[in-house]
Structure 1
Amino acid sequence: MNIKSNRKSAERRFIAFSLTPILIIFAVFSVVPIVWGILLMFYNYSPLNANSPFVGFANFKQMLHNEIFLISFKNTFKFVLIAIPVNLVLTLAVALGIKGIRSRLWRNVFRTFFFLPCIAPLSGSALIWTAMLKQNEGLFNIVLERIGLDAVNWLNDPSMAMISIIMMTLWADIGYNIILFGAGLDSIPDMFYEAAKLDGAGPWRSFASVTLPLLSRTSVFVVIMTSISYFQMFPQFQIMTNGGPMNQTSVLALDIFNNAFSYMNMGYASAIAFVLLVMILIVTLIQLRLGRVQWEY
């Protein structure tokens, strides 16, 4: 009895010893900044001012009358509602194509090829794409002119700026979801496809009746993680357009940065950050609810 008790006590000490540093780091770099940000949103705080008066919900009232915030709010949802569906369709199609390759070596080669852009820092990728999308000497327009088409003002045309950023984001980000969808597809037992084939199901019927239902858990995870990531996208918006032209690419993350570090209005920036946090939380809970599955195989 004493041996079991000593063993359990040693296991508890080991767990406490292992987790304590992780919990301390998490508290210092995650919990404390979140709590501090929530407190700041009730104050008119600026590091340039000696006084930081309590203003209650005045920062939230200011949002409702701030044109930049309203535009950023709309643009954030516009970006998310366009980029995420395109990302999911594209990555699932590529993952299915890679799964159809018989050679394991070539499957790994293609997965590595699509994942390579994810290794590069997003800011570095944004700089490269900014150079390629220049109106006069950019690679994209050089190609268009060579094939007889007119050059496009990718980053300075209000109708094209958001599309350009979405293109860059998809190029830089699809590798993650291709790997995740690939892992989900590999985990589906072949016997389900064999049974569907015996029932006379073709490729499209097998995809709709076998692949999609059995891939639902992976799909829920992919949608949630992509949504959280895309709501917080920032580097490409600042580097490629800095919110322009005419605020058509201004998003909430960029608005938070500008108010906090350009205008030093950190109380108002904290209030916007809290709104963004609540938005992400609500969207995540809705996705978890709608994507709930009750099966196992």
Structure 2
Amino acid sequence: MTASDDARAPQEAMRDLPPSLAVIASRITVEEKRILDELDRRRVPYDVLDPRTAVFRLDRPRAPWSVALAREVSHHRSLTVARILEHAGVTVVSSARAIALCGDKLLTTLALQAAGIPVPRCLVTAVPQAALDALDDFGYPSVVKPLTGSWGRQVARLADRDAAEAVLELREALPDPQQRITYVQEYVDKPGRDIRALVFGTEVIGAVYRVSASWRTNTARDARTLPCPLTPELVSLVTATAAAIGPGAYGIDVLEDADGRLLVNEVNHTPQFRGAAEALDVDLAGRYVDYLTQQLVRN
């Protein structure tokens, strides 16, 4: 069987069957629309499951789907639904464990360090004041981040103690105790860019540079995307990173430090790929659905 035959096999196996796939999403962005369009093109039946209106009877732990794709924007809603569906025997892409790890920067860091993955130096304190006292030894500049969040929101660069005092005083006043847990990373002086690599299952689909004049290089903040070569070092790093999190579809953010070392910054379990799709000669929605339909055939 050729590679193209392999790609068509899940499509033919799923044709004209009742829906056994749920797409968990409360908001249909460009990425979700491209995934749904590709499912429609292949005639793969699916249901869109909106967590805001879904009701689960825990005394009836059954679900009509065998596989669910988690594309929910809310971390807490996504994790809740994934756990319930897995309890009912549904395979969730990516798993509840992966959502829990990727959605919490502390848990991500602990999992990657345990696997020997290089990450930026970091410190964590239960209250902001303790972080302030520790930063003189940790070093400036540094970056403070919320444990849960994306798109560079609520992330601040601390240039010196005066900046740290101002930012951490605001964090001290936040109402949620979890928001006062303070996660600080070293500031990595990257060369005006970072790397976003897409890994579906065990396969590295592609990578892009995200280039910006800002120190935050998120595409949500208008960073430009350019093709990034898949060097053996990069492929080995992001493959090991995905293995440390578990089976799933990931966007892995990698930093290059001044010495050229690669450090894994974050792992996204619902990767956006609009910018990457514009830069790469790869059908990313199609490859995403290839991976998804493989899970359907296995289940």
Greater share of helix? 1
Greater share of strand? 2
| Larger RCO, structure (CA 8 Å, separation 6 or more) | 1
- Which bin holds the TM-score, normalised by the shorter protein? under 0.3
Max Rg structure: 1
Q: TM-score, normalised by structure 2?
A: 0.22
